[in-house]
Amino acid sequence: MDKVAFVLATDFEDSEFKVPYDRLREAGYQITLIGSKAGEEVKGKKGKESAKIDTTAKQMDPGGFQALVIPGGYSPDHLRLDRDIVDFVRRFAASGKPVAAVCHGPQLLIEADVVRGRTLTSWPSVRMDLENAGARWVDREVVLDGNLITSRKPEDLSAFCGALIEKLPRRAG
């Protein structure tokens, strides 16, 4: 079965996790939740969603996944402090496979040093951070630059999920 990795910590934006998670599962993908501590229960910042972390990044190889999703909220900021997560994101981005980050998700891309010379979007408060890291920021529903897919906010999730699924390899059957 084709797999997609999500990196997740507490205080994620509920819908930015749940909507892509559901869309990818409906499309037949197996989801692996990667966080700082395997077995940890993490909760969305609005309290509507929770999830159990499957494994840590230290144990994972980007080669085992078709894509990486980085939901927004405060989760990406928490994950910036986890060297293994940052290294996993860096290696995943270098693999050329799709990396999809929404809202505050690009904060983790900044920490992984993969935005220089790239065009991205994000929640407006992340704009200056992206520009300072060498990215070009644009205000669009979804932005594709090579293997990076970014969106601004929960209202963009339909376009975000559509762009990600379009980038994934066609599934047999």
For residue 76, the model assigns a pLDDT of 97
For residue 172, the model assigns a pLDDT of 46
Alpha-carbon radius of gyration of the chain: 14
Residue, of 173 and 44, whose pLDDT is higher = 44
Work out the mean pLDDT of the chain and round it to a whole number.
Answer: 96
Active site residue 103: yes
d(CA 146, CA 99): 10
- Options 3.30.56.10, 3.30.1310.10, 3.40.50.880, 2.40.160.10; CATH of 3-167: 3.40.50.880
Catalytic-labelled residue, pool 103, 109, 148, 165: 103
For residue 158, the model assigns a pLDDT of 97
Q: Where are the domains of the chain?
A: 3-167
- Tens-place pLDDT, residues 143-158: 999 999 999 999 999 9
Flag whether pLDDT at 173 surpasses 50: no
Tell me if 20 sits within 8 A of 101, measured CB to CB: no
Amino acid identity of residue 68, one-letter, is: L
For residue 59, the model assigns a pLDDT of 79
* Percent of the chain scoring above 70 in pLDDT: 97
What's the whole-number mean pLDDT along residues 26-48? 96
Contacts of 38 (CB under 8 A, 6+ apart): 53, 54, 55, 56, 59
Contacts of 171 (CB under 8 A, 6+ apart): 2, 27, 28
Tell me if 117 sits within 8 A of 134, measured CB to CB: yes
d(CA 126, CA 106): 8
Flag whether pLDDT at 48 surpasses 50: yes
pTM of the model: 0.97
For residue 118, the model assigns a pLDDT of 98
Q: What angle do CA 78, 45, 122 make, to 5 degrees?
A: 65
What's the whole-number mean pLDDT along residues 68-83? 97
What's the whole-number mean pLDDT along residues 83-109? 98
Per-residue b or e along 130-147, where b marks 16 or more CB atoms closer than 10 Å to that residue's CB: beebebebeeeebbbbeb
Tell me if 142 sits within 8 A of 91, measured CB to CB: no
What's the whole-number mean pLDDT along residues 11-17? 98
Kindly indicate the confidence band of residue 171, based on its pLDDT and cuts at 50, 70 and 90.
low
The owner of tokens 């990215």 is 135
